[in-house]
Structure 1
Amino acid sequence: MEKIRHDLRLSETISPFGVGAIVDVRGESLMAPDTSWWDKRFAQEISCERLMARLGAGVLRQPPEHAGRAGKDTPALPYWRFPAWRFCERCGKLSKLTGKKKGKWSNACECGGALVPMRYIAVCEKGSHAQDVNWFKWAHRGRAASLNEGVRFCRDYKSLRFHKLATRGEGLAALVVKCHGCGNERRLAELVTKGALHRDGIRCAGRQPWEPEDSVKKPCPYELVAVQRGATGNYIAERISALDIPEERPQSAEAADKIRGHVFFEKVVTDNGGPLSEQVAEWIADDLGVTPETVLAVAAGEETAPDEMLLDLKDGEWAAFLTKLGGGRDGSGSDFVVDGRSLENVAGPQSLLDKMSGIGQVRRFREVRALRGFRRHDAEAAMISADLGPDQRRWPTYPAIELFGEGIFLRFEERKLAEWEAQPQVQARAAILKERRADSPWANRLDFPEPRYIALHTLAHLLIRRLAFASGYASASLQERIYANSDRTDKTAGILIYTVAGDAQGALGGLVRLGEPEKLIPLLVAALDDADFCSNDPVCIESDRQGASQLNLSACHGCSLVSETSCETGNRLLDRQLVLGGSDVRGLLDEVLAEVRQHG
């Protein structure tokens, strides 16, 4: 095994260079094998009960890290050379062999030229497998080769060459794989046509490049497609993250317990929906400060089970944030410190303040990110687990990292939000994205685009762009977490914008200080003002077909898009009109700029 020392950032070992991903290192093309190949002695275990409750059985382990220069015995992750086929940039020789220099493996040809990995690899259409293109087999296949006996039975494995035709321009037609033993040659333009590998008799091996051949239990039925080695679709990571916070019970669960404990509750259950149950439900509702409908729902067993709700990580986080917002200054000194700030007596546009119900300065929190697995080529392809070892079904190991950071939490007024999203024009605007999401292969990776989600998601992007000017952090360092669901018993309507660092000390405080209401409200107004005029208007504001799979409406790089690593949904499900309004729809905050401009 060849040792190649190269440093990656710790976060890069989760994405974009996690298990199954290709990484270029000093002229080498490498792929990270699954966690069964890790030396567990140097991969420390990370604890996060909330995350493991979602993942199920298993363990979280952080890749080994080091400070300073890597030495001979420094713990490191293993990587597999992929693709194995390389060509010499000097003589063009194409093979899977690795040169030797003074008895050691080297990335050089016998002629002294550097070996360069081939540009194309083969990926399974639906099985998420990857493998080398067998260039010797491919060069001796095809329509012309089938007519020549010498080509069909050629065994001159050392005579394969890869070169460029000077007279054919810069396209794939100019790139040729030629066997100098039999004289047959094929251009790469033949490789990328639909069903090309299948016609040449090249089938999917049904495994990952690092897995042994005897690991395949049954053949893969899907066809191979030739793709460029660096194509982004070759690796679609399935990540999950959780804020490590004290888990709080949702308010609906607390209310349900009080209702069940009421002295008259058995009468509601006994009457089973009759007139007496409705009358008694009103008594209980008046006594406990809830609605009669809530009492009847609890009696009928229609409320969502608390344990089921807590499986959704965001529900538990939302409940914890609400507890902190009502607590004022937080002196707990834990890994989750949030100062709740009131908006009373804060100067600013009343139309904006009326729609907000609280701000939290998140001074410190811990986030744990884990890699569940990955897919290749297609968002609907099979997911490959991050652990393919013999114990992966019973006790898998997930790559994970822990990060510490700071942020700003904004809670919006539920009643105002519900009134706005009940408008038919607002519902119709959101319905456009609902239909497209349903038809998209990314549907299971995207939140449901109800009006409040689209509006708050877009507002988060606008605020990230503005905070990048004031916080001292680049916009790519800021991330979002959107809490916007109206179909839960505990409706959510909030935004968390945060930054994290791998160091245990966390971030530097440049973001949390802007969470003071006196500073944040002007920043929100400035963010809305920035988005009111896009450099691509009027095309952008009048558009309803932008972004990947047309999953954005009025949103583009000139006004609303941020780094894809900052966004939960990869810059999808955005619309300025649902924030600022348009010709046919009222925006959530469409009165704010008019009020500001009216009062100077």
Structure 2
Amino acid sequence: MARRSTAGGAGNAARQEKVRKSPLGAVRRAQQITTYGVGAMIAIGDQSFIVSGLDTWGTRADDILFEPRLQECLKVNGFRLPPAAPAPSGNGVKVRRFPETYSCPKCSALKRFRDFGGRRNDNNCGDCEVPLVPSRFVVACAHGHLDEFPYWQWLHARRGDERRARRGCDPAKARLSLHSEGRTASLRGIVVTCDCGESGSLEGAFGRDAMAALGITCRGGRPWFGRGAREANCTSPLRVLQRGSSAAWFPNVASALSIPPWHRKLMQLVNQSRKHLVGKSDERIGEYAQDEGWLDRYSEEEVIQTVRTLESAGEQPQEEPEDETAFEAASRIRQEEYRQLRRETPEHPDNQHFVCLPPKNAGKVEVPGIDQVMLVKRLREVRALHSFTRIEPLMRVKEDRERAVDLALNKEEVNWLPAIEVIGEGVFLSLDPEKLATWEALTGPDSPEARAQRLRRNHESHLRRRVKDRKVPVDSSLTSRFVLLHTLAHALINEWSLDCGYPASAIRERLYVNEDMAGVLLYTATSDSAGSLGGIVAQGEPQSLADSLKSALERISWCSADPLCMESDASGVNSLNLAACHACVLLPETSCEMNNIFLDRALLVGTPDDKVPGFFS
């Protein structure tokens, strides 16, 4: 059947425009940051699309988020909420069809979607009237490029140029078909056939060097920006991925808490009107505040001081990190938050986003190993998607950061990033510094430092594989303190999920670790009011904390996979865990900021033979 014509009168044109603008589907705003962001593939019904760049997003001017510390860190002018669904007038997040290669399960034809002759607004084969199936396979490289699976090249390149030339097969005119023989579930059962007579299965296509062995190189495809947005001279080898593979898109998300002085409602008002206030005289600021009615609630001096604070924040240059491999837990943003979390920020009508108080019964019940506990009764976190990678997630190595892919084709015009704000509550814990220093100073083959050294060697080996220049030094910043706090956070999250009613996936960790910091914030944060119901804060009361900590330590002192788990020399992805598995301390992806690596419960509770001294043993 021929494709339905789009020509005709004004009525037909209007109908076609309505079809073009009608939403294809809907996802939550949070998913546009973590799951279906720019460059990610998304299945809508029986079709496949890729999310377009920020240049095409239909955001609204009033969907602006304010978080100056994170803006400074990411070097952008601001953040915007992803378009809500349903978007007005169809102007939401644009998607493009990808992959464009489809197959028909009835006639087995394998070709571009537009060559099937179906109607514009459906997904049927024009001849068979059955739904088409998007290609299961794509190719990608470590520098973020993405392209169609080269079926013709895969079939003919391994047969040799001489045979192909003799048959006179032209890739532009060749007719391919895809058959599933059904005799095996492996790639051997998927056979591609060309009308020139060549035929072969996809067996071996997922090999690391499969494409390079056939001379198939990366063409720099960036389909999220359009067909003509290819990058030239990419030398990164191609890898074959399944369309729904998690390795096809890794988001790089940065976040920050709204802490004083940025937590105040007045600061939010000033920022929204910054073009009228920043750089103005005190008199002009006072006049503007009077016109806006702010002086009914705030004094003129408060408004002027808030404007000057906003101005000074923009003048402070961001310091580059000295250690490229340092974890985010030691970043400047975390250091500022750590200092603020240790201070009291009381309830106040203008404290819109941050309230931090000590427990009512602080000091009456001793919690062994814990120095300070603070109840964060109100917090706001801004999470921004700033780039993405493919094949492997981004590591904190300077050379590896070159793999991060920008979200907009024109960064000068689109100097903003998509972000969401989440509201919640939490409990902040810091370890006893004297006990921690004594524990870290222990020596011997089974000391905390010795166990951390094992993980550090594995981490450095993993980092070395990412760095092409062998002369560049690669040093892991992993310490026994970091592993201890990270594992403690996991143990408490698992315990609190049983006590306070939240699933473990709804509780997050935020680590604060360097030579001067040893703390963790355990919090629940959602995009609505469900994250502020008081269940987590109640766990921070001294008696409840002491009971839950004792129970958590008892729970992880034994694992159903012991003795293998406890005696393991290496476990987890890239051997970056020791005594840690899914039966004891691993958490859902949404809870752990380190992707479930750098864990060792032996550092908390010791080993059954008492050779390894646990911090809480």
TM class by shorter chain equals 0.7 to 0.9
Q: 3-state DSSP class of the match of 1:10? A: coil
* Alpha-carbon distance, 1:4 to partner: 4.7
Between stretches 152-161 and 495-504, larger displacement belongs to: 152-161
**1:162-188 residue CA offsets vs partner (Å, 9 max, x unmatched):** 11124x422111101112x32221211
The aligned counterpart of 2:496 is 467
- For the residue of structure 2 that corresponds to 1:41, the secondary structure is coil
Matches of 1:454 and 1:194 in 2, distance apart? 32
Question: Match for residue 300 of structure 1?
Answer: none
Alignment partner, residue 531 of structure 1: 556
**Is residue 2:244 matched to residue 1:245?**
no
Say if 1:203 and 1:332 are closer, same or farther in 2 by CA, change over 3 A. same
Contact map agreement 1:91 1:113 (CA 8 A) in 2 = no
Structure 2 residue 54 is matched with structure 1 residue 25:
no
Q: TM-score, normalised by structure 2?
A: 0.77
SS of corresponding position for 1:523: helix
Matched, 1:323 2:343: yes
- What is the CA deviation profile of residues 384-427 of structure 1, one whole-angstrom value per residue up to 9, with x for unaligned ones? 4443322x157632111111111111122212211111111221
The residue matched to 2:178 in structure 1 has which SS? strand
Say if 2:102 is the partner of 1:73.
no
Matching of residue 314 in structure 1 with residue 330 in structure 2: no
- Counterparts in 2 of 1:75 and 1:507: CA distance versus 1, 3 Å: farther
Aligned to 2:133: 116
CA distance in 1, matches of 2:390, 2:341: 37
Report the equivalent of 1:458.
Answer: 487
Residue 225 of structure 1 and its aligned partner are, at CA, apart by 2.1
Contact 2:342 2:374 in 1 (8 A): no
Measure how far apart 1:208 and its partner are.
Answer: 1.1
1:509 Cα offset (Å): 2.1
Q: Where does residue 533 of structure 2 map in the other structure? A: 508
CA distance in 2, matches of 1:336, 1:393: 33
Instruction: State the Cα distance separating 1:505 from its structure 2 match.
Output: 7.2
State the distance in 2 between where 1:216 and 1:88 align: 28
Write the deviation string for residues 270-292 of structure 1: whole angstroms up to 9, x where unpaired. Answer: xxxxxxxxxxxxxxxxxxxxxxx
CA distance in 1, matches of 2:250, 2:509: 20
Instruction: Answer whether contact 1:197 1:224 (CA < 8 A) is retained.
Output: yes
Q: Does 1:169 align with 2:174?
A: no
Matched-pair contact (CA < 8 Å) for 1:131–1:209: yes
Within 5 Å, which residues of 2 pair with 1:35-184? 35-41=54-60, 44-66=63-85, 70=86, 73-98=89-114, 104-110=120-126, 111-124=128-141, 126-143=142-159, 146-149=162-165, 151-154=167-170, 157=173, 159-166=175-182, 168-179=183-194, 181-184=195-198
Report if aligned partners of 1:99, 1:105 keep a CA contact under 8 Å in 2.
no
Distance 1:446 1:409, change over 3 A: farther
Deviation at 1:504, TM superposition (A): 5.9
Q: Is the CA contact (8 Å cut-off) linking 1:98 and 1:105 kept in structure 2?
A: no
Q: Quote the Cα distance in structure 2 between the aligned partners of 1:520 and 1:446.
A: 36
- In the alignment, residue 120 of structure 2 is paired with which amino acid? K
The answer to whether the Cα contact below 8 Å between 1:10 and 1:502 also exists between their aligned partners in 2 is: no
Unpaired runs of 5+ residues, structure 1, are 249-304, 591-600
Aligned length: 517
The match for 1:589 is: 616
Partner in structure 2 of residue 263 of structure 1: none
SS class of match (2:49): strand
Which residue of structure 1 aligns with residue 299 of structure 2? none
- Change beyond 3 A, Cα 1:461–1:41: same
Q: Please say if residues 433 and 551 of structure 1, whose CA atoms lie closer than 8 Å, have aligned partners that are also in contact.
A: yes
Which residue does the alignment assign to 1:414? 433
Evaluate the alpha carbon distance shift between residue 443 and residue 560 of structure 1 in structure 2; reply closer, same or farther with a 3 A threshold.
farther
1:432 paired with 2:446, answer no
2:355 corresponds to: 337
Quick one: structure 1 residues 434 and 567, their matched pair in 2 at CA, closer, same or farther if it must change by over 3 Å? same
> What residue is the counterpart of 1:209 in the other structure?
223
Change over 3 Å in CA distance of 1:395–1:306 after alignment to 2: closer
Structure 2 SS opposite 1:177? strand
Equivalence for 2:581: 556
Query: Do 1:42 and 1:64's aligned partners in 2 also have CA atoms closer than 8 Å?
Result: no
TM-superposition CA deviations, 1:433-455 (whole Å, max 9, x none): 11111122499999832112111
Q: 1:51 to 1:97 in 2, by over 3 A?
A: same
C-alpha change, 1:516 and 1:335, in structure 2 (3 Å) is same
1:283-341 per-position Cα deviation (integer Å, ceiling 9, x unaligned)? xxxxxxxxxxxxxxxxxxxxxx99779961100000101112xx677786431011212
Q: 1: distance between equivalents of 2:390 and 2:200?
A: 27
What residue identity is the alignment partner of 1:585? V
SS at match of 2:203: helix
Give the secondary-structure state (helix, strand or coil) at the position aligned to 1:369. strand
Give the C-alpha shift of residue 201 in structure 1: 4.3
Q: Give the aligned partner of residue 288 of structure 2.
A: none
Q: Which moved more, 1:200-209 or 1:578-587?
A: 200-209
User: Secondary structure, in 3 states, of the residue corresponding to 1:526?
Assistant: helix
Q: Secondary structure at the match of 1:189?
A: coil
Distance apart, 1:103 and its partner CA: 5.2
Structure 1 residues 233 and 120: alpha-carbon distance in aligned structure 2, compared to 1, 3 A threshold = same
C-alpha distance in 2 between matches for 1:44 and 1:336:
21
Partner of 1:387: 407
**Could you tell which deviates more after superposition, 492-501 or 434-443?**
434-443
**Which letter does structure 1 place at the counterpart of 2:355?**
V
1:501-536 CA distance string (max 9 Å, x none): 112675322222222222221111111111111111
Q: Give the 3 Å change call, closer, same or farther, for CA 471–239 of structure 1 in structure 2.
A: same
Deviation of residue 485 (structure 1)? 1.3
Q: Which amino acid aligns with 2:614?
A: G
8 Å Cα contact 2:250/2:388 also seen in 1: yes
Q: Return closer, same or farther for 1:557/1:446 CA change in 2, 3 Å cut-off.
A: farther
Q: 1:457 to 1:446 in 2, by over 3 A?
A: farther
Aligned to 1:256: none
Contact 2:191 2:202 in 1 (8 A): yes
Of 315-324 and 32-41, the range deviating more from structure 2: 32-41
- TM-score, normalising length: structure 1: 0.79
Distance 1:358 1:331 in 2: 26
8 Å CA contact 1:330–1:338 kept in 2: the answer is no
User: How far 1:42 sits from its partner (Å)?
Assistant: 6.3
Alignment-mate amino acid for residue 173 of structure 1: R
8 Å contact kept, 1:434–1:449: yes
Q: 1:177 to 1:522 in 2, by over 3 A?
A: same
Unaligned runs of 5+ in 2: 1-19, 263-316, 322-329, 394-399, 468-473
Contact 1:154 1:182 in 2 (8 A): no
Q: What's the CA shift string for 1:246-283, capped at 9, x where partnerless?
A: 169xxxxxxxxxxxxxxxxxxxxxxxxxxxxxxxxxxx
- 1:49-72: CA deviation from partner (whole Å, max 9, x where unpaired): 110121123321110114xxx377
Structure 1 residues 381 and 447 mapped into 2: Cα distance closer, same or farther (>3 Å)? closer
CA 1:513–1:446: 2 relative to 1, 3 Å: farther
Partner of 1:495: 520
**Matched residue SS, 2:459:** helix
Secondary structure of residue in 2 paired with 1:186: strand
TM superposition shift of 1:148:
4.9
Question: CA–CA distance in 1 between the matches of 2:442 and 2:171?
Answer: 73
How far did residue 355 of structure 1 move?
A: 2.0
| % identity of equivalent residues | 30
Measured in 2, the distance between the counterparts of 1:80 and 1:72 equals: 19
2:594 to 554, 569, 583: 569
Alpha-carbon spacing, 1:218–1:58, altered in 2? closer, same or farther (3 Å)? farther
Deviation at 1:7?
Answer: 2.0
